[in-house]
């Protein structure tokens, strides 16, 4: 099968499409015939040598986290699934060296969900990681009806879905992006747009119930002024504070800080698909590339001007 792999990190080996044996699903896994995958910045950041202490599984590694396709085979002990069923989901790029930029990928069954017929392969591949992250951010920040929410980085993969999930839950949303993305972000349903380049942070609205930092780049020192007492800050990227002082400070401080640790979450997928089915959520596709052009997709993502998601067509 074809797989887009690299043999060294930090520029030691450039990713390329290689011919490798198809994997065999282990106990508790399904083998997925990948139709589409999608690109997340974490994919090329790991290949670039970031998060070295968190990455397990060694080299070589196949890039890609999200997938949509159909089950090709079942591993030992897997029940309730059948070959040929359409599925969507993700693999953990930190724990598994075999990613989704390949003709086949073996996936722990809990990381896969059935893909409704109303969801095409492109959307099914674009949604999983960013969608589950957006829902988890809203959960961590207790976003609900009447909440006032700031979404920072609202035009990106996670951000544009976080705006829509918060709105679908009945929140009032202020969203930050560059001026060129105002029309895009406003069309998502944001109640207020903030051009982060033109307006200094001191001139932003204050006293939100929740801040969803999807870039994330909001200085820790500004969280207190952005949030009302009892407010919650949720980030897409854990850091040292997440594992050390924040759990203690959250019990005694005037605000709480949390970060997403992405795990299989059937309820999050159910919420995403329900919102999409009700016409309250769409995943914007910034571009589609065949597997052989994954290099160009990564260049576009690295440039940092992508609105929505980039999809890799495998089959």
Q: What is the pLDDT of residues 104-116, one digit of tens each?
A: 999 999 999 999 9
Name the phi and psi angles at 268, rounded to 5.
-65, -45
Distance CA 55, CA 17 (A): 22
Is 309 in contact with 126 (CB distance < 8 Å)?
A: yes
Question: What average pLDDT does the segment 215-222 reach?
Answer: 94
- Whether pTM > 0.85 for this model: the answer is yes
Please choose, from the candidates 118, 91, 94, the residue with its C-alpha nearest in 3D space to the C-alpha of residue 34.
Answer: 91
Average predicted confidence (pLDDT) for the chain:
95
Here the tokens at position 307 are 């609105």
Note the pLDDT of residue 204.
96
More confident: 10 or 98: 98
Question: What average pLDDT does the segment 2-17 reach?
Answer: 93
pLDDT tens per residue across span 45-56: 999 998 888 899
Q: Residue 298 pLDDT more than 90? A: yes
Order across the sheet with 256-259: list the strands: 192-195, 172-177, 148-152, 208-213, 227-235, 256-259
Note the pLDDT of residue 124.
97
pLDDT tens per residue across span 13-24: 899 999 999 999
DSSP lists the bridge partners of residue 172 as: 148
């Amino acid at each position: 099968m074809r797989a887009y792999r690299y043999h060294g990190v930090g520029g030691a080996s450039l990713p390329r499409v290689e011919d490798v044996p198809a994997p065999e699903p282990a106990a508790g896994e399904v083998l997925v015939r990948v139709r589409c995958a999608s690109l997340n910045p974490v994919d090329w950041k790991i290949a670039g040598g970031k998060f070295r202490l968190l990455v397990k599984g060694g080299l070589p590694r196949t890039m890609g986290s999200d997938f949509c396709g159909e089950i090709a085979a079942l591993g030992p002990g897997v029940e309730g699934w059948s070959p040929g069923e359409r599925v969507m989901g993700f693999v953990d790029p930190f724990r598994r060296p075999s990613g989704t930029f390949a003709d086949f990928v073996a996936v722990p069954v809990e990381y896969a969900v059935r893909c409704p017929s109303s969801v095409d392969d492109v959307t099914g591949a674009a949604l999983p990681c960013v969608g589950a992250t957006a829902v988890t951010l809203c959960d961590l920040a207790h976003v609900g009806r009447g909440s006032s929410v700031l979404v920072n980085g609202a035009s990106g993969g996670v951000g544009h879905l976080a705006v829509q999930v918060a709105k679908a839950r009945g929140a009032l949303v202020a969203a930050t992006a560059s001026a060129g993305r105002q029309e895009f972000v406003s069309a998502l349903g944001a109640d207020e747009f903030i051009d982060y380049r033109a307006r200094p942070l001191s001139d932003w609205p204050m006293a939100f119930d929740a801040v969803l930092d999807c870039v994330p780049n909001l200085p820790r020192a500004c969280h207190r002024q952005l949030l009302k007492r009892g407010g919650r800050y949720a980030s897409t990227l854990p850091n040292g504070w997440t594992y050390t002082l924040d759990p203690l400070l959250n019990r005694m401080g005037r605000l709480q800080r949390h970060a997403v640790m992405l795990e299989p979450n059937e309820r999050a997928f159910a919420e995403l698909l329900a919102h999409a089915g009700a016409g309250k959520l769409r995943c914007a596709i910034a571009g589609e590339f065949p597997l052989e052009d994954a290099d160009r997709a990564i260049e576009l993502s690295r440039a940092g001007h992508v609105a929505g998601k980039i999809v890799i067509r495998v089959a």
